[in-house]
Structure 1
Amino acid sequence: MDDKTVEQDIIALSADKWRWMSDQDMPALTTLFHPRAVFVHMGGAWGTDRELEIIEGGFIHYKRADIHEVSVNVIGATAILLNEVTLLAVVDGNEVTNRFMVTEAYVQDQDAWRLTALAFTKLLTSAEEPPA
């Protein structure tokens, strides 16, 4: 499979991931998330089991991710995807909207792509930009 096809597959898989997270589709997420994956949020970092608990328990409900930009770098059996998104979520019962650069790392594992890292970096808006 050439890199362009892999890039398209990873972009589609990432979009599916956002939908599965919104729908709390635990079987799909359990298959997608590598057992040793790491998840980095504004409030901390943890592994796959905790991320699945958080999603299933509704502690974070990913309602909608509006994707503004996406890019993929394929390096052997690893794909690194960058998403610039506006994320609408419910966190601890409060609806919040944040603009993030989301880094996703995928590896080929037994002929399937598995998510091994998901990291959120909050982007500054014009009102939050530091003075020059």
Structure 2
Amino acid sequence: MMNKNLILGALMAFLSITVAMAQSTDIEQEIKELSAQKWQWMADKDADKLAELFHDKAKFVHMGGTWGKDREVDIIRSGGIHYKKAEIHETMVEVLNDKTAILWNRITLLAVVGNNEVTNPFMVTEVYVKENGTWKLADLTFSKILQTSE
């Protein structure tokens, strides 16, 4: 009887770990797809969809400063920054729990800032939180990469 309980317990633990890993993989994929969609909305200047995605308390860290959701949406809507194309070279996701995930993208960003078209290599950190069943972008940080291997 003891061996049966031990085997049953080990089996339950294995199944729990397997289910947790599958859920984590599902969340990773969902976050990757959401991030890719975000880049497209930025390229399309779709400020309304971005406003829905951005958490009300979100912060955006750029080379020129840090600001909140309203200013980021206004900048995108007005064309102050036009994220024309984000060429994604690498993506990593870490799921902290079922309500928090961090994504890192190594990108080359083609943007128009003011009237100047610029291309910069960045490591971009995105923090997503789940509220009321919906993922929200809580932080977007651009870190310029000084040297690239490509």
Give the alignment's Cα RMSD to 1 decimal.
1.0
Where do 5+ consecutive residues of structure 1 fail to align?
127-132
d(CA) in 1 for partners of 2:86, 2:47? 18
Shift in Å at residue 125 of structure 1?
1.9
Instruction: Work out the percentage of aligned pairs sharing the same amino acid.
Output: 56
Hey, what does 1:99 align to over in structure 2? 121
What SS class does the counterpart of residue 147 from structure 2 fall into?
A: coil
Residue 114 of structure 1 and its aligned partner are, at CA, apart by 0.3
Structure 2 CA distance for aligned equivalents of residues 87 and 119 of structure 1: 13
1:60 to 68, 75, 81: 81
2:146 match: secondary structure? coil
Cα distance per residue 1:34-75 (max 9 Å; x no partner): 010000000000000000010001000000000000000001
* TM-score where L is the length of structure 2: 0.82
Is residue 2:53 matched to residue 1:32? yes
Partner of 1:49: 70
Partner of 1:71: 92
Distance in 1, Cα, partners of 2:67 & 2:51: 15
Aligned residues: 126
Q: Does 1:4 align with 2:11?
A: no
The yes-or-no answer on 1:115 pairing with 2:140 is no
Match of 1:80 in 2: 102
TM-score when scaled to structure 1?
0.93
Mapped to 1, the partners of 2:82 and 2:46 lie a distance apart of 12
Matches within 5 A, 1:5-24: 5-24=26-45
More helix by share: 2
Which whole-Å deviations, capped at 9, do the CAs of 1:79-118 have from their partners, x for residues lacking one? 0000000000000110000000000000001101000000
Q: Which residue of 2 aligns with 1:130?
A: none
The amino acid across from 1:39 in the alignment is F
